[in-house]
Amino acid sequence: MESLVDRARRVLVGGVNSPARALTRPGPLVVESASGPYLNVDGMGRVVDYILGYGPLILGHSPEPVAEAVREQLGRGWLYAALAEAEVELAEAVARHVMPGGKVRFVNSGTEATMTAIRLARGYTGRDLILKFEGNYHGAHDSVLVSAGSAAASLGVPKSPGVPGSLARLTLVAPYNSVDAVEEVFEERGGDIAAVIVEPVAGNYGVIPPRRGFLEALRRLTSRHGALLIFDEVITGFRLALGGAQEYYGVRADLVTLGKIIGGGFPIGAVVGPRHIMAHLTPEGPVFNAGTFNGHPVSMVAGLATIRELERGALKRASEAARALEEAFRDALDPLGVDYTINRVESMMQVFPGVGEVSEPSHVSAADAKAYIRLHEALLRRRVLVTPSIHEAIFTSSAHAPEVVEETAEALRSAVREALSG
Ligand SMILES: Cc1ncc(COP(=O)(O)O)c(C=O)c1O
Torsion of CA 182, 352, 382, 329, to 10 degrees: -100
| Beta partners for residue 229, in sequence order | 196
Dihedrals phi, psi of 285, to nearest 5 degrees: -130, -170
pLDDT over 70 for what percent of the chain?
99
- Distance separating alpha carbons of residues 344 and 394, to the nearest angstrom: 9
Q: Is the CB of 392 under 6 A from ligand 1?
A: no
Q: Is the CB of 259 under 6 A from ligand 1?
A: yes
Give the sheet arrangement for strand 228-232, strand by strand. Answer: 103-107, 269-273, 255-259, 228-232, 193-198, 129-134, 171-175
| pLDDT tens by residue, 234-283 | 999 999 999 999 999 999 999 999 999 999 999 999 999 999 999 999 99
| pLDDT tens by residue, 336-358 | 999 999 999 999 999 999 999 99
The mean per-residue pLDDT over the stretch 404-418 comes to: 97
Of 57, 104, 17, which is closest to residue 294 (Cα–Cα)?
A: 104
Q: Is the CB of 109 under 6 A from ligand 1?
A: yes
| pLDDT tens by residue, 154-167 | 889 999 999 999 99
Q: What ligand 1 atom has the least distance to the C-alpha of 139? A: 6
- Tell me how far the alpha carbon of residue 132 lies from the centroid of ligand 1, in angstroms: 14
Confidence of residue 151 (pLDDT cuts 50, 70, 90): low
Q: Is the CB of 234 under 6 A from ligand 1?
A: yes
Choose the weakest-confidence range: 53-57, 147-151, 211-215: 147-151
- Tell me how far the alpha carbon of residue 264 lies from the centroid of ligand 1, in angstroms: 15
Q: In the prediction, which pLDDT does 421 show?
A: 84
Q: Is the CB of 389 under 6 A from ligand 1?
A: no
Q: Is the CB of 303 under 6 A from ligand 1?
A: no
- Distance separating alpha carbons of residues 317 and 308, to the nearest angstrom: 14
- Distance separating alpha carbons of residues 173 and 361, to the nearest angstrom: 13
CATH number of 80-295: 3.40.640.10
Q: Is the CB of 206 under 6 A from ligand 1?
A: no
Q: In the prediction, which pLDDT does 239 show?
A: 98
- Tell me how far the alpha carbon of residue 418 lies from the centroid of ligand 1, in angstroms: 33
Q: Is the CB of 391 under 6 A from ligand 1?
A: no
pLDDT over 90 for what percent of the chain?
97
Q: In the prediction, which pLDDT does 161 show?
A: 96
- Tell me how far the alpha carbon of residue 168 lies from the centroid of ligand 1, in angstroms: 19
- Tell me how far the alpha carbon of residue 139 lies from the centroid of ligand 1, in angstroms: 5
Residue 422 pLDDT greater than 70, yes or no: no
- Whole-number average pLDDT of the chain: 97
| Beta partners for residue 156, in sequence order | 148
The mean per-residue pLDDT over the stretch 105-118 comes to: 98
Residue 367 pLDDT greater than 70, yes or no: yes
- Distance separating alpha carbons of residues 55 and 347, to the nearest angstrom: 10
Q: Is the CB of 204 under 6 A from ligand 1?
A: yes
Q: In the prediction, which pLDDT does 1 show?
A: 84
Q: What ligand 1 atom has the least distance to the C-alpha of 199? A: 1
Residue of 18, 107, 111 with the most ligand 1 atoms within 8 Å of its CB, for mutation: 111
- Answer yes or no: same fold for 4-63+313-420 and 80-295: no
Q: In the prediction, which pLDDT does 325 show?
A: 98
- Distance separating alpha carbons of residues 99 and 270, to the nearest angstrom: 13
Residue 2 pLDDT greater than 80, yes or no: yes
The residues annotated with a catalytic role in the active site are: 137, 232, 260
Residue 176 pLDDT greater than 60, yes or no: yes
- Tell me how far the alpha carbon of residue 353 lies from the centroid of ligand 1, in angstroms: 25
How much is the pTM?
Answer: 0.98
Q: Is the CB of 110 under 6 A from ligand 1?
A: yes
- Tell me how far the alpha carbon of residue 231 lies from the centroid of ligand 1, in angstroms: 12
Residue of 52, 133, 138, 294 with the most ligand 1 atoms within 8 Å of its CB, for mutation: 138
Burial of 230 (0-12, 13-18, 19+ CB in 10 A): buried
CATH number of 4-63+313-420: 3.90.1150.10
- Distance separating alpha carbons of residues 152 and 171, to the nearest angstrom: 14
SS (H, E, C) the chain: CCCHHHHHHHHCHHHCCCHHHHCCCCCCCCEEEEEECEEEECCCEEEEECCHHHCCCCCCECCHHHHHHHHHHHCCCCCCCCCCHHHHHHHHHHHHHHCCCCEEEEECCHHHHHHHHHHHHHHHHCCCEEEEEECCCCCCCHHHCEEECCCCCCEEEECCCCCCHHHHCCEEEEECCCHHHHHHHHHHHHHHEEEEEECCCECCCCCECCCCCHHHHHHHHHHHHCCEEEEECCCCECCCECCHHHHHHCCCCCEEEEEHHHHCCCCCEEEEECHHHHCCECCCCCECCCCCCCCCHHHHHHHHHHHHHHHHHHHHHHHHHHHHHHHHHHHHHHHHCCCEEEEEECCEEEEEECCCCCCCHHHHHHCCHHHHHHHHHHHHHCCEECCCCCCCCEECCCCCCHHHHHHHHHHHHHHHHHHHCC
- The residue extents of the domains of the chain are 4-63+313-420, 80-295
The answer, yes or no, to whether the previous bond of 164 is cis (omega within 30 of 0) is: no
Provide the b/e sequence for 386-395 (b: ≥16 CB within 10 Å).
bbbbbbbbbb
| Beta partners for residue 340, in sequence order | 353
Confidence of residue 152 (pLDDT cuts 50, 70, 90): low
| pLDDT tens by residue, 178-209 | 999 999 999 999 999 999 999 999 999 999 99
